[in-house]
Amino acid sequence: MLNRRRSSSSDLIILIGCSATATCWYGKAFNLTQLYSPVIMDKPVCLIDTGSDGKLCVQQSALQILQQIQQPVVVVAVVGLYRTGKSYLMNRLAGQQTGFALGSTIESKTKGIWMWCVDHPTKAGTTLVLLDTEGLGDVDKGDSKHDTNIFCLAVLLSSTLVYNSRGTIDNRASLDMPDMFGIPEQTVRYVTELTECIKVKSSDEDDDDSSEFVKFFPSFIWAVRDFTLERKIDGKDATEDEYLEFALKLKHGTAKKVMEYNLPRECIQKFFPSRTCFTFPFPTAPENVSRLESLDPADLSFDFLEVTDRFCKFVFHKSQVKKLKDGITVTGRVLGHLAKTYVDTISSGAVPCLENAVIAMAMIENESAVKEGLEVYQSGMEKLKDSFPLELKDVSSEHQHLSNMATQTFMKRSFRDTDGKYLKSLEENINKLFDGYLCQNEQASKRQCEDLLSSLSEPMRENLKQGFYTKPGGYDLFCKDLEDIVKNYNSQANKEVKAEEVLEEFLKQKSVDSKAILLADQKLNEKEKKIKEEIEKAALLQQEIKAKEEKQRQLEEKMEAEKQSNEERMRQMKVKMDEELRLQREEADRAMDSKLREQAALLEKGFKEKADRMGQEMEEFRRQNAEAERNKAREFAMMIENSNKRHEQSMAIMMQQHREQMQAIQEKNESSSGGCCIL
């Protein structure tokens, strides 16, 4: 782990590593508050590698790191030919001199995809994930499919893709056919191959759905290294971005050569929602260039430092948090799952599909969201359990509070729970737990009430043992003692959930003694005994009714708590639904803006036919967006309806119990009034 401290004399930030002192040369990009936040990794690790079977595989240790990152991630991936300074540039973004291994021989160092997670220097609460890829077109590998896969994964996993190339658009090329970023045309095919390597929807297997790429593709930065020419177009100075647009300019005509020339350019324009260019001058004297990482910043060219600084600032300020289809934010944890899903798909020979990835992510995340929600509920209730027995209203209100918190926790992590399956699972599990806690509270209450009665009736037990009540007038004495016990008990246990039930049981037990005492009491004649017996029976029944009524009241209280929890759940679901719809709309608007810009550019440059095609694409886009919104709204409405139905059903069950109890009470009442001559 690194220690960071601020240099006292200047704005430079000194990063002290375990092996060397590294200077953060974009110094001012940091501010003090971020200085002391923890650095996640002190060096990069391999994220995606080639296994012994020659297939791509994800490194478990890297997944474990991502698993711990709960923050949203900005993912910057670099791609391009091998040995073009990609790793060096990524180290700059990490604010370090060393980190990703640089190749100083002809053999490229980076294999597969390497990852470095650092605190985002400007976006608090966000992690910057840097992905350095193995260079494309390494002749030694002789496996172009492998290159395509690496390129494809970089596109799929990043929110900003840095397309790195060395060399310039030479004079000859720039006047006539600028070669693509100085990269041989054969490497540009990776972009055109994306249409076959990435699917948006799983359903239209053979359809080309690349017109939708722009919705989820990363923004695009072209980094041209060792750019030694003046940036001039038609003799006029051009900005870096103008230069990029110039390089991407399409040619008129339908000849095969023109089409081949246009295709990758069209793909870049169509697929990537935004494009920017940085032209880096030669970094230092030629004899130093192979040991760039060990050079003092003072030995680097001022212009090179200036562009690098501007590049880093641009990435820090403009790179967005990685989003999944439908605008869902990607955290480190989700990025790990995403990498695994895509790599597994590619290794199995299938084509990665954005829609399927979202479904897979949603499944993993929603299951975890249920677990997290339950943990919140359970840990809160476990704490409450220490103070059992409690009044029902106290248990219920804490249940409601924790259930709301659990729903909030669930909502924070879950997404695309369109049929409410996971929310339902959370609800059912919480209710199961709640029933369990209610039961434990009742047992604790029962124990407490029984203990109380046991201690209050201790003298009576002693009297019974001694035969104290076995004498004329003994029954009245017994009744008096019993009355005192009940009075005392009621004053001490009246708030206990089990108070009435335990008392009912106690009185039933005592009625055995009472009957014997009454029978033996010679002070009373037969008629008086009969009357007393009936009075006692009526009192017992009264207690039974009281206990049943209390149970019924408690059921109603539970029903009310359930009703309120359900209302709160539905409210939170509605908020979530609106948020997801908003994100979906935002994503559609962004894509539409990008298409409108492309269309305007095509029209301006006289490509009417292409512009018309784009117009049709947009029409189709609008239709799809509207349909997607309608579907989402319908799915949510159905979910809420199902949830309400579920709630109504459980209410109906409770009401049925309620009715049965009432009936039982009524029947008791009728039979007792029929049998009792004195009431």
Ligand X SMILES: Nc1nc2c(ncn2[C@@H]2O[C@H](COP(=O)(O)OP(=O)(O)O)[C@@H](O)[C@H]2O)c(=O)[nH]1
Contacts of 265 (CB under 8 A, 6+ apart): 180, 247, 248, 249, 250
| Beta carbon nearer to ligand X, 108 or 445 | 108
- Min. distance of Cβ 83 from ligand X in angstroms? 4
Whole-angstrom Cα distance, residue 530 to residue 526? 6
- Min. distance of Cβ 141 from ligand X in angstroms? 13
Residue 81 per-residue DSSP state:
B
Q: Which amino acid is residue 324, in one-letter code?
A: L
- Min. distance of Cβ 106 from Mg ion in angstroms? 13
| Beta carbon nearer to ligand X, 82 or 213 | 82
| Beta carbon nearer to Mg ion, 110 or 625 | 110
Reading the block at residue 537, the tokens are: 């029976």
| 590 CB-contact burial (10 Å; exposed 0-12 / middle 13-18 / buried 19+) | middle
- Min. distance of Cβ 154 from ligand X in angstroms? 13
| Member of 120, 123, 146, 225 binding ligand X (CB under 6 A) | 225
Binding residue count for ligand X, defined by CB under 6 A: 21
Whole-angstrom Cα distance, residue 238 to residue 277? 12
Reading the block at residue 526, the tokens are: 């037969």
**Range in contact with ligand X (rule: CB under 6 A) among 85-93, 406-414, 455-463, 644-652:** 85-93
**Range in contact with ligand X (rule: CB under 6 A) among 98-106, 393-401, 542-550, 564-572:** 98-106
- Min. distance of Cβ 629 from ligand X in angstroms? 43
Whole-angstrom Cα distance, residue 98 to residue 474? 98
| Beta carbon nearer to ligand X, 276 or 331 | 276
Residues 51-90 that bind Mg ion (CB under 5 A): 86-87
Residue 621 contacts which entry, ligand X, Mg ion, none (Cβ below 5-8 A, type-dependent):
none
Binding residue count for Mg ion, defined by CB under 5 A: 3
Residue 580 contacts which entry, Mg ion, ligand X, none (Cβ below 5-8 A, type-dependent):
none
Based on the shown chain and the rule CB under 6 A, indicate whether residue 167 belongs to the binding site for ligand X: no
| Beta carbon nearer to ligand X, 220 or 280 | 280
Residue 82 contacts which entry, Mg ion, ligand X, none (Cβ below 5-8 A, type-dependent):
ligand X
**Range in contact with ligand X (rule: CB under 6 A) among 107-115, 179-187, 523-531, 659-667:** 107-115
| Member of 96, 110, 160, 356 binding ligand X (CB under 6 A) | 110
Whole-angstrom Cα distance, residue 100 to residue 115? 9
Whole-angstrom Cα distance, residue 603 to residue 612? 9
- Min. distance of Cβ 132 from ligand X in angstroms? 7
- Min. distance of Cβ 131 from ligand X in angstroms? 12
Measured in residues, the chain has a length of 679
Does residue 81 come out as left (phi exceeding 0), alpha (psi in the -120 to 50 range) or beta?
beta
Cα distances (Å, whole numbers) of residue 155 to 76, 115, 197? 10, 15, 11
| Member of 40, 75, 86, 191 binding ligand X (CB under 6 A) | 86
In degrees and rounded to multiples of 5, residue 237 shows phi and psi of: -60, 140
Whole-angstrom Cα distance, residue 409 to residue 111? 39
Contact letters for ligand X, residues 64-83 (x by CB under 6 A): ------------------xx
Based on the shown chain and the rule CB under 6 A, indicate whether residue 111 belongs to the binding site for ligand X: no
Cα distances (Å, whole numbers) of residue 130 to 76, 114, 127, 200? 5, 8, 10, 25
| Beta carbon nearer to Mg ion, 86 or 399 | 86
Question: For the chain, how are helix, strand and coil distributed in percent, rounded to 5?
Answer: 65, 10, 25
Are 353 and 345 spatial neighbours (Cβ–Cβ below 8 Å)? yes
Residue 4 contacts which entry, ligand X, Mg ion, none (Cβ below 5-8 A, type-dependent):
none
Whole-angstrom Cα distance, residue 59 to residue 48? 6
Are 146 and 50 spatial neighbours (Cβ–Cβ below 8 Å)? yes
Paired sense of beta strands 13-16 and 3-6, if any: antiparallel
Reading the block at residue 79, the tokens are: 């791609």
Whole-angstrom Cα distance, residue 184 to residue 442? 78
| Beta carbon nearer to ligand X, 86 or 413 | 86
Q: Identify the bridge partners of residue 324 per DSSP, sorted by sequence position.
A: 328
Distance from the Cα of residue 133 to its chain's centroid = 27
Residue 115 contacts which entry, Mg ion, ligand X, none (Cβ below 5-8 A, type-dependent):
none
Reading the block at residue 88, the tokens are: 């060096």
Are 46 and 112 spatial neighbours (Cβ–Cβ below 8 Å)? yes
Are 280 and 227 spatial neighbours (Cβ–Cβ below 8 Å)? yes
| Member of 43, 55, 109, 546 binding ligand X (CB under 6 A) | 109
Contact letters for ligand X, residues 276-295 (x by CB under 6 A): ----x--x-----xx-x---
Q: Identify the bridge partners of residue 323 per DSSP, sorted by sequence position.
A: 329
Based on the shown chain and the rule CB under 6 A, indicate whether residue 108 belongs to the binding site for ligand X: yes
- Min. distance of Cβ 114 from Mg ion in angstroms? 8
Based on the shown chain and the rule CB under 6 A, indicate whether residue 114 belongs to the binding site for ligand X: no
Reading the block at residue 642, the tokens are: 């199902």
Contact letters for Mg ion, residues 84-113 (x by CB under 5 A): --xx----------------------x---
| Beta carbon nearer to ligand X, 110 or 345 | 110
**Taking CB positions, which residue lies at the least distance from ligand X?**
85
Cα distances (Å, whole numbers) of residue 530 to 319, 524, 675? 92, 10, 12
| Beta carbon nearer to ligand X, 25 or 607 | 25
- Min. distance of Cβ 295 from ligand X in angstroms? 9
| Beta carbon nearer to Mg ion, 150 or 330 | 150
- Min. distance of Cβ 76 from ligand X in angstroms? 14
- Min. distance of Cβ 312 from Mg ion in angstroms? 18
- Min. distance of Cβ 110 from ligand X in angstroms? 5
In degrees and rounded to multiples of 5, residue 22 shows phi and psi of: -110, 140
- Min. distance of Cβ 107 from ligand X in angstroms? 9
Based on the shown chain and the rule CB under 6 A, indicate whether residue 84 belongs to the binding site for ligand X: yes
Reading the block at residue 222, the tokens are: 């072209």
- Min. distance of Cβ 88 from ligand X in angstroms? 4
Contact letters for ligand X, residues 117-156 (x by CB under 6 A): ------------------x---------------------
Longest dimension (CA), the chain: 131
| Residues found near Mg ion in the complex (CB under 5 A) | 86-87, 110
| Residues found near ligand X in the complex (CB under 6 A) | 82-88, 102-104, 108-110, 135, 225-226, 280, 283, 289-290, 292
